[in-house]
Amino acid sequence: MTRNVAIVGTGHSKFGNRYDVNIAELAWEAIKQALEEAGVEQKDVEFVSFSNVGGWSSEGLASVVTLEYAGLTGAELYRVEAACASGSAAIKAAHDAIASGQADIAMAIGVEKMNESPTPTVIEFIGRAGNFFWEFQNFGLTFPGYYALYATRYLAEYGATEEDLCRVAVKNHYYASVNPKAQFQMPITVEKCMKSRYIAWPLKLFDCSPITDGAAAVVLASEEMAKKLTDSPVWIESIGVSSGTSNLSRRDDFLHLEAGTIAANRAYKKAGLSRDDIVRHVDVAEVHDCFTIAEILAYEDLGFAKRGEGYQLIRNEETYKGGKIPVNLSGGLKAKGHPLGATGISMAVDLTRQLQGRVEKERQADIKVGRALAHNIGGTGHYAYVTLYSLSKPRR
Amino acid sequence: MSNQREQADMFLKQMESFANEMKKAIGLPIIPEPKSGAQLWYDQREITLKFLISVEKIKKFFHEGLAQGKLLATRCKKCGRIFFPPQVDCPYCKTSDMEWIELPKEGELVTYTIITTRPYSFGHYPDYTVGVVKLKNGVQVTAWIRETDPKKLRVGMPVKLEIVKREPEGYLTYEFVPVEEE
Ligand SMILES: [Zn+2]
C-alpha cells in the first residue's frame, strides 16, 4: 500500500552571498516559512530528511546543528547526499516515509553555506565530485570542466554555437531579475556573456552557475493530513531516479546524460505519460542548469526536444514564458543560484508556488494542465531525479 | 604575476593578518566582510587534507605499467571485459580471475576542455587541457592533452599516449600528445 503525498508548506531563503547568517540561521529562514505556511508546529513533524553536501562549511553535522536551532530535535532524522541533487533525494526520502505509512507529516530541508571557504577551495571540493583518484588526482578536472567535456562534443556534433549557450544564460538571468529570492538581479545580453572570460573552454563565466549560500524547505503530508491542513495541496505525482558512472570516460557519448534520460522515463511511466508529447502535459519546468549546456542537454533528456535539436528550443525562445515549454522561470541554478543541498528543494518550492499561481507576475507561467516538472542532476549525471508535481490528486 | 594558488594563499594571509590585528585591538578574531561589512569570525583552527589511498591490489598498474612506460588495464578471463580504470574484480562474473593487459597507445580525441579557473591544488600549473580519448581497442581514457590552443584541438583528432613525469611533483603519469596530420 502506498499513500498519496502532498506539499502543504514551502519556505525559501534569499539566495546569494549570505555573510549575514550562519548555516542554522540561514536554514531557519526557510524552515520557519514552511512551518507557517503549513500551519504545523515542530512537534507535529515526525520525519526530517536533511540535504547538505558540505565540506566547504564548518559544521560537519549541519543537520543536527540546524534541527537544534530550529526546535526540531527529536524528529526521525537523516542526512541525504546526492551531490547537487541532494535536495531531490531528501524530498524522495520524506515522500517515501509518508507514502509507506511511517509518518504523516515530514519535512525536507536543504541548506548550503558555500561562501565559508575561499573560491579555489570550493572549486577543489566540487572538482572532486567525480572520481577522485582517476580524474581529479592527476588531471584536476573542475565542475565546469566536466560539463565542458559535454559542451565541446555537443557543439562539434550538432553545429550549436557558444552564442546558443549564452542564450540560456540570458533567459535565466532575465527571470532571476524578476525573482527577488535570486542571487543575480541584473539581466545580461548575449554580447556580455560572449565577452566573459573562459572558465573551462568552451564554457565562459556567464555559462556557469555561481557559488551560493541558500536554504529551502518543504512540509509534506499524507492525503488525510493534507486535507486538514490546506485547501490547495500540490501533489507529488511521481519521482524517477537513476545514476551514472563516476568516471566520465565510461560514458557512451558526451551528447546526453543517460541517468537523466532514464530518470525521466521512469517518472513518466509511473505517471502514465509518454516522453513523445510530454510538453503538452507540463505547464512549467525547472531543469538542472548548473551550466548552460546542462539546460540544453536536459531539454533532450526530458523529451522536450529531439536529440540534437535542444539548442533550437532556446534559439527560438520556446522555453520562455508563453513558449512551447517554459523552463527555469525562477532564474534556474544559473542565475537564481546553486546552493547544492538546497537546489532540489528550491525547485519544489518554486514549482509549488507556480502551480498555485503565486509567484511574481513577470515570471508566472500559465497553468493549464496543472502539472510541473523538476529535473535535478547530481554531479555530472552521477545522480538524476525527475519529479512531477500536480494540482490533481494522483490515482493510486 | 603570481599563480592562482599563490593568489588564494595571499587572500587568506591578508585576512589572517587583519584578524590578528583585531585580536590585538579587541581580543577577538572578528573581521568585516569587505563587500557587505558583515562580521565574520576568522577560523582559529586549521587542518591539512592528505589521503593515504590503497593501491596494493592494483600495484602492477604502477610498477609493471607506468614505471615500464606502459598503460595497463585489467581483463576478466571469464567474460573478456576490459576495465580501465583497472578493477581487480569483475562484478558481472563475480570473479577475481583477471589478467593485466597493455593498452594501445594510439587513439582519437572524443572531447576536451581547457581548464583556466583551477582548483586550489592545481593552482600552480599553467592552463591545462583535459580530454577523453578513445583508444584503438575502444577503451576510453581521461588524461591531459599536451596542447592548450583551442584552434589546434578538434574532436576526432589523432593522439598518442605517452608516459610522462609530472612536474614539479616529479611522479609518473600519462598524457596524450596530438599526432601531426598529413
Ligand atoms: Zn567478467
Predicted pLDDT of residue A60: 95
CB contacts of B53 in chain A (<8 Å) are 133
Is residue B99 domain-resident?
Answer: yes
CATH of the domain at B169: 2.40.50.840
Domain of B75 in residue numbering reads as 57-103
pTM higher than 0.95: yes
Nearest CB neighbour to A153, from listed B40, B85, B155: B155
Residues B115, B181: one domain? yes
B134 in the same domain as B70: no
The string of pLDDT tens digits covering residues B59-104 is 999 999 999 999 999 999 999 999 999 999 999 999 999 999 999 9
With CA atoms as reference, the chain A residue closest to B12 would be A118
User: What is the predicted pLDDT for the residue at B1?
Assistant: 62
**Does residue B68 share a domain with residue B90?**
yes
Backbone angles phi, psi at A126, to 5 degrees: -70, -35
Question: What's the complex ipTM?
Answer: 0.96
User: Does the annotation count A338 as an active-site position?
Assistant: yes
Q: Please give, one letter per residue, the 3-state secondary structure of chain A.
A: CCCCEEEEEEEECCCECCCCCCHHHHHHHHHHHHHHHHCCCHHHCCEEEEECCCCCCCCCCHHHHHHHHCCCCCCEEEEECECECHHHHHHHHHHHHHHCCCCCEEEEEEEEEHHHCCHHHHHHHHHCCCCHHHHHHHHCCCHHHHHHHHHHHHHHHHCCCHHHHHHHHHHHHHHHHCCCCCCCCCCCCHHHHHHCCEEEECEEHHHECCCCEEEEEEEEEEHHHHHHHCCCCEEEEEEEEEECCCCHHHCCCCCCCHHHHHHHHHHHHHHCCCHHHHHHHCCEEECCCCEHHHHHHHHHHCCCCCCCCHHHHHHCCCCCCCCCCCECCCCHHHHHCCCHHHHHHHHHHHHHHHHCCCCCHHHCCCCCCCEEEEEEEECCCCEEEEEEEECCCCCC
Region A263-272: what's the mean pLDDT? 98
Q: Domain check: are B126 and B175 in the same one?
A: yes
Mark residue A71 as left, alpha or beta (left: phi above 0; alpha: psi -120 to 50; beta: remaining).
left
Digit-coded pLDDT (tens) for A37-96 = 999 999 999 999 999 999 999 999 999 999 999 999 999 999 999 999 999 999 999 999
Using an 8 Å CB-CB cutoff, list chain A residues near B122: 140
Phi, psi of A38 (to 5 degrees): -75, -20
* B76 CA to centre of ligand 1 in angstroms: 5
CB contact B144 to A (< 8 Å): yes
Any B CB within 8 A of A293 CB: no
Residue A255's DSSP bridge partners are: none
* Residues of A in Cβ contact (< 8 Å) with B40: 19
Yes or no, beta carbons of B11 and A118 under 8 Å apart: yes
Enumerate residues 6+ apart whose C-beta is below 8 A from A161. Answer: A155
Q: Give B-chain residues touching A249 at CB under 8 angstroms.
A: 84, 132, 140-142
* Least Cα separation, residue A60 to chain B (angstroms): 14
Judge if B95 and B161 occupy the same domain: no
A1 has pLDDT over 70: no
Contact A120 B35 (CB under 8 A): no
CATH number of the domain at A5-118+212-229, please? 3.40.47.10
Q: Is residue B49 part of a domain?
A: no
Report yes or no: A245 at the B interface, CB cutoff 8 Å.
Answer: no
Domain final residue pick, B69, B103, B137: B103
CB B42 within 8 A of CB B15: yes
Domain finish residue from B103, B134, B165? B103
| pLDDT(A392) > 80 | yes
Same domain flag for B120 and B164: yes
Say if residue B82 is in the same domain as residue B116: no
B48 shares contact with chain A (CB less than 8 Å)? no
Interface residue B177 vs chain A (CB under 8 A):
no
Q: What span, in angstroms and rounded, lies between the C-alpha atoms of A64 and B40?
A: 22
Record: contact A19-B110, CB cut-off 8 A: no
Q: If DSSP codes are grouped into helix, strand and coil, which group holds residue B142?
A: strand
DSSP letter (8 states) at residue B137:
T
Q: Are residues B168 and B132 in the same domain?
A: yes
* Helices and strands per DSSP (H, E), number in chain B: 2, 10
Here the cell at position A174 is 532575465
